[in-house]
Amino acid sequence: MDLTQYKDIAPYRGQDVRDAITRVLANKDAIHKILASVGPAQTEEQQLLLSKYSQHIVNMLDQVTNYDEFQKHITAGVFLPAIIKKSVDTFSFSGMEHTTKEKAYLFMSNHRDIVLDCALIDMALLKGDRMLCEMAIGDNLLTNQFVTDLFKLNGGVTVKRTLPMREKYLESIRLSSYFVELITEENKSIWVAQKSGRAKDGLDVTTPAIIKMLHLSQKSKGITFNEVVNNCRIVPVAVSYEYDPCDLIKAGEEVARINRGDHTKKRYEDLISISRGLKGYKGNIHIAFGKPIAGEFENSDQVAQEVDRQIHTLYHLWPTNLFAYDYLENSTRFAASYQDFDKEAFLYRFKGVREDVYRFALNAYANPVRSYLAAQKD
């Protein structure tokens, strides 16, 4: 694999890692602010503890030479445990037996949180003694050099979204080629969301074009569609949050888009969602790994349908999902599964919200149940 032709989109490697760390270390105040955003920082004692953590991170950064070390020691070593401690009741995962530590995979998951989805998948892989994965992220999130450095040190692969149509198509081919070569030649895993942007309505549906592009990037080499699919070892992953800290933000955005025909994001809208997603209460979180997709397929639609089927059946349905479904459907089908659930507190979450936004948010919780039931019929 000729990594030089992908240098502008690939995570940092070699000397670029050390150069980026030098830039990050020159902005120690930013490190402290990030820590303060995920942990308590009100009292003098808490501030002192944060300063010690900041210095600990600085000391560890001096030793980092590659993505795996950054992920293990910084992201999964400090930041994610702090986020889980502050805003998560339990973090669990399943399905690791479907993968091996020697092989690379294309992990394709539903997309609910801008940053946490892949970060938590990586943490599960680390705890399950599997190789870590790089992650595809939109260039709209890379708002400055500091943020860019953190993402690319953390295995971020840049998806260029702000290009003219023709250039965007060619860039998609190049990006897909990077995915395939990374897995088949470098034996390195990568994560990609099943579609561009988060599923704000709770409907997790794969965009077939993502699969199609994988083949188009290899077609000139004479590699068949099924060879690409099987060689990439696509693993569907269901990421299930009991509570979505951004539920009302997403609902408001989508209702505005439906009513006006579009929704133009404000400059810092994504950063606000990232902050809310990191800090906000999430209850329980489960990561379920499916089986690598293998076999004969006629087209990308069939592969996408299999990704959807696995995600829909693996999705961990929490009381928030089951109650929302029964409430909206005026049924008691799942009542036994949320007997101890505080229904009034959950509904109070939406108190004072406009009716259309309220119902959209509730449906976002209920839709994974609908998807599960539909998948059971297939």
Structure tokens belonging to residue 48: 């002192």
How much of the chain exceeds pLDDT 90, in percent?
Answer: 74
pLDDT of 267: 61
Amino acid at 190: I
Which residues pair with residue 289 across a beta bridge? 237
- My answer on whether 344 and 286 are in the same domain is no
**pLDDT band (50, 70, 90) for residue 34:** confident
- The predicted structure's pLDDT at residue 33: 78
Q: How confident is the model at residue 131 (pLDDT cuts 50, 70, 90)?
A: very high
282 touches 241 (CB < 8 A) = yes
Q: Within its chain, how far is the Cα of 61 from the centroid?
A: 24
Our measurement of the distance from residue 3's CA atom to the centroid of its chain's CA atoms, rounded to an integer in Å, reads 25
- Report the first-to-last Cα separation within the chain, whole angstroms: 40
pLDDT band at 151 (very low <50, low <70, confident <90, very high): very high
The pLDDT tens digits for 298-347 are 999 999 999 999 999 999 999 999 999 999 999 999 999 999 999 999 99
3-state secondary structure of 27: coil
Question: Does 350 share its domain with 254?
Answer: no
- Return the closest-CA partner of residue 30 out of 112, 150, 162: 150
**How does pLDDT run across 345-362, given as a tens digit for each residue?**
999 999 999 999 999 999
- What is the C-alpha to C-alpha distance for residues 342 and 335, in angstroms, rounded to an integer? 12
Residue 15's pLDDT band (cuts 50, 70, 90): very high
pLDDT at 285 over 90: yes
pLDDT computed for residue 56 by the predictor: 82
Q: Summarize the confidence of residues 147-174 as an average pLDDT.
A: 93
Render 101-168 in DSSP notation, one character per residue: SSS--EEEE---STTHHHHHHHHHHHHTT---EEEEEEGGG--SHHHHHHHHHTTEEEE--SS-HHHH
Max Cα distance, the chain (Å): 64
Least confident residue range of 64-78, 168-182, 364-378:
64-78
Same domain (yes/no): 370, 279: no
* Non-local CB neighbours of 310 within 8 Å, separated by 6+ positions: 236, 238, 290, 291
Task: Identify the pLDDT of residue 52.
Answer: 80
Is 265's pLDDT higher than 70?
no
Confidence of residue 63 (pLDDT cuts 50, 70, 90): confident
pTM: 0.94
Task: Based on the fold, state whether residues 310 and 321 are members of the same structural domain.
Answer: no
11 and 129 in a single domain? The answer is: yes
Same domain assignment for residues 257 and 369: no
Task: List C-alpha distances in Å: 76 to 125, 126, 240.
Answer: 11, 8, 19
Q: Which residue range forms the structural domain that includes residue 351? A: 317-378
143 with 36, same domain: the answer is: yes
Q: Is the pLDDT of residue 230 over 70?
A: yes
Of 272, 288, 316, at which residue does a domain stop? 316
Domain co-membership, 300 together with 331: no
- Rg (Cα) of the chain, in Å, rounded? 21
- Domain match, 307 and 356 both: no
Same domain? 197 vs 326? no
Asked if residue 216 and residue 193 are part of one domain, the reply reads yes
Domain at 124, CATH number: 3.40.1130
Closest CA to 284 of 337, 239, 350: 239
Order of strands, sheet of 189-193, starting from the edge strand that comes earlier in the sequence: 88-94, 283-289, 234-241, 106-109, 189-193, 133-138, 156-159
pLDDT (0 to 100) of residue 39: 67
| Residue 79, pLDDT score | 87
Answer whether residue 142 shows pLDDT above 80: yes
Last residue of a domain, one of 316, 333, 359: 316
Whole-number mean pLDDT of the chain?
A: 92
Structural domain count, the chain = 2
Q: Is the pLDDT of residue 84 over 80?
A: yes
Specify the residue for token string 């076999």: 295
Digit-coded pLDDT (tens) for 201-219: 999 999 999 999 999 999 9
Which domain-ending residue is among 289, 316, 343?
A: 316
Q: Based on the domain organization, do 269 and 332 belong to the same domain?
A: no
